[in-house]
Amino acid sequence: MRASSRFTIVLAALTVAGCGGGCSGPSEARATSSSTQRTEASGAEARDEPAIEADPGPVPVLRITGAVDRYDRSVDLRVENRGTEEVELRARLAVEKQGGGGWEAAPAGLSLRDSCAAEAPACITLAPGAVYIPPAWTGKLGAGQDDAQCACEGCERAPAGTYRVVVTSCSGAHRVEGEPIVLPD
């Protein structure tokens, strides 16, 4: 059997079986430009072919909330896995503010970590039914990599308005927006 025929059969099998755990998009194999795999072309020859991207898995079923303290405007965050499967999430969170044209990025350094003394990992794993409660958001914003959870020397009080926290799956394939958080004046 020619090498190109074997590759086509393997590719077809991966396309059919690739979504055994559930897909969030079309059931097709996708190539990535950043990595390659070696495939035998004939005998001793080899050529580079695009690697097949791993199945990103199902969309995480999360509930992301923030309870505002009416005295100091800090926000207690909660990320709850309401799905039936374990999910891997990027520790770095995004904050968005609702504006006239929709949601816009707001500069706040937030992450899923155990305490202000702990360094944030790249990703965390959340079991079904588990709730993750990171250090509170101070209700402040700051440009760059300032830490709006703990000691944010370059931060300023966030303007009053409606915000939300956004969590991304560790693979980067899924994004889950949290419930609106209203910061008062």
pLDDT, tens digit, 9 for 90 and up, residues 85-143:
999 999 999 999 999 889 999 999 899 999 999 999 999 999 999 999 999 999 999 86
Q: Does residue 104 sit in the same domain as residue 146?
A: yes
Measured CA to CA, the distance from residue 96 to residue 66 in angstroms comes to 13
Task: Say if residue 87 is in the same domain as residue 137.
Answer: yes
Q: Is the pLDDT of residue 38 over 90?
A: no
Domain containing 174 equals 62-183
Rounded to whole angstroms, the Cα distance separating 107 from 161 reads 14
Tell me what percent of the residues of the chain surpass a pLDDT of 90.
Answer: 56
Phi and psi at residue 180, to the nearest 5°: -60, 140
β-strand partners of 79: 64, 132
Q: Please state whether 172 falls in left (phi above 0), alpha (psi between -120 and 50) or beta.
A: left
CATH, residue 106: 2.60.40
The answer to whether residues 90 and 147 belong to one domain is yes
Split into its structural domains, the chain has a count of 2
Which residue carries 């303007």 as its tokens? 159
- Is residue 84 included in any domain, yes or no? yes
Q: What is the pLDDT of residues 171-184, one digit of tens each?
A: 999 999 999 999 99
The mean per-residue pLDDT over the stretch 67-75 comes to 94
> Residue 57 has what DSSP assignment?
-
- CA 66/CA 137 separation, integer angstroms: 9
Q: List the one residue out of 157, 148, 154 whose CA is nearest residue 111.
A: 148
